[in-house]
Structures are given as structure tokens and as C-alpha cells.
Amino acid sequence: MPVQAALEWAFRREAAQLELPERRSIEERGSGFGMEYVLMERARLGGVQIDTSIGSSEPHDDAETIAAIVSNLPGDLGGLRQAIRVSELARAGLEPNWMPGAVPRWQPMEWRRDRAPGFEEGKAEVCGHWVEHFEVAHPKNPAKAIRRSRRHELRWVPCHLHPTPGAIARARANYQDWWFSLSHIRRSLKACGMLREVSITDAMPSMQPWGDAE
């Protein structure tokens, strides 16, 4: 199966868990050995299940292998922080939101919705004034003009770009970080030799889906 499907199977269906520093497994507490050692020993013994959990079924051996590989993402790919992110996305059956179709547009900072239902407009603010000068006919002597003036408000609608180009760039950079993590996990799973029933293919999600969409 593709690596993305394998991750979703391991974390979503089999409920595999990352080997976090604060949650050590039974064999780690008893012997001081980490999950990598346990998996190697399990493979050496022909797939014997070493650890047990009373009252609940254990994840499939291959799911635990996948979780162990994810737990050991290298630091240059984000380490444990990225491992948690990858596992949680897989558990939810999601990909990172790369903001498909997002285009920066000017939008009002605030909206007014106090008119007819369904009608809204940007909330305006007073930013200055201007004076209009004009003349009107004298009520008693039409040939004589009276000068008048009227003060007007200058109003504007404060706007901002939404989404910002920076927000779109960050979302797509986060997606690519996730993609490179999956690529590393795929290569590690294919090279580890400890998967008993699951076979990882070369299929990967698109590296730049926003380019595909265009």
C-alpha cells in the first residue's frame, strides 16, 4: 500500500502509538531497551508478540513498526514534533491544509450586518472632514446670493489582505515538510526489512498539489 495509506491504517485503524519519551512501553520499563530493539528482537524470533496489554488487543506488528519509524524522524525533518503531526493527521485521515484556491483579497477589517437580512458591508470610519461652499438665492431679493457652507465627513473602510501571501506560503511550506517526512518514512519502511504483511509501494501524494490544480 502507499505510505500515506499505511500510516492511516497504522494510526487510525490499528491505533498504534508513537513512542514518546514520557510514555515508555512495558519492555522499556523492565529492561531499558527501546522500541527499535524490541522490533528487531521480535523479527529475530519470527514475529513473536513480546509485549501484551491486558483487556485490549494490541496493534498489528506492522503497525507498531510503522509507529516506531515515525517516532524516529530525524531532527532535520522536524523530529518528534513532526512525528506527532504526521501521526495525528494520519489518525484523522487528513492531509495538511495547503489552502487550495486561496488568493489574497482585500477585505474589510469589520463587517456591518445591521441592515436587511443577508446584506453586509464593510464598517467605515471617519478619517477627516471637508467643507462645501455654495450660494443660494436670497428669499427676499432673488438677485442677491447668500453664501452657505456645509461640513462633510470623509469616511473610509479599513481593509486587510486575507489570506495574506505569507499565510499561503506557510501553509504550503508545512505541506511540503509533511511530504518530505512521508518520503523519508516510505524509504525507511522499504529498507527496514521488518514488515511482515504490509508492502510499501512507491506511490506518494503530490508534492505540490497547488501546481497540479493550476
Residue ranges of the alpha helices (H) in 50-198?
61-71, 79-92, 165-192
CB-side neighbour CA atoms (13 Å) of 100: 8
| Cis omega (within 30 of 0) for bond into 163 | yes
Using CA atoms, how far apart are residues 100 and 86, in angstroms rounded to an integer? 20
Grid coordinates of 58? 494490541
Check: CB of residue 143 under 8 Å from CB of residue 202: no
pLDDT for position 33: 43
Strand segments, DSSP code E, in the chain are 105-108, 111-112, 121-122, 125-137, 145-156, 159-162
pLDDT for position 45: 54
Check: CB of residue 36 under 8 Å from CB of residue 28: no
Per-residue pLDDT of the chain (214 residues; tens, 9 = 90+): 999 999 999 999 999 999 877 654 444 444 444 555 555 555 555 554 444 444 457 899 999 999 999 999 999 999 999 999 999 999 999 999 999 999 999 999 888 876 666 667 888 889 899 999 988 888 888 788 888 899 999 999 999 999 999 999 999 999 999 999 999 999 999 999 999 999 999 999 999 999 875 5
Coil, strand or helix at 35: helix
- Provide the 10 A C-beta neighbour count for residue 122: 16
Q: What does the angle CA 177 – CA 179 – CA 185 come to, to the nearest 5 degrees?
A: 105
pLDDT for position 190: 94
Using CA atoms, how far apart are residues 16 and 5, in angstroms rounded to an integer? 14
Backbone angles phi, psi at 94, to 5 degrees: -120, 165
Q: Give burial (CB, 10 Å; 0-12/13-18/19+) of 200.
A: buried
Backbone angles phi, psi at 108, to 5 degrees: -60, 145
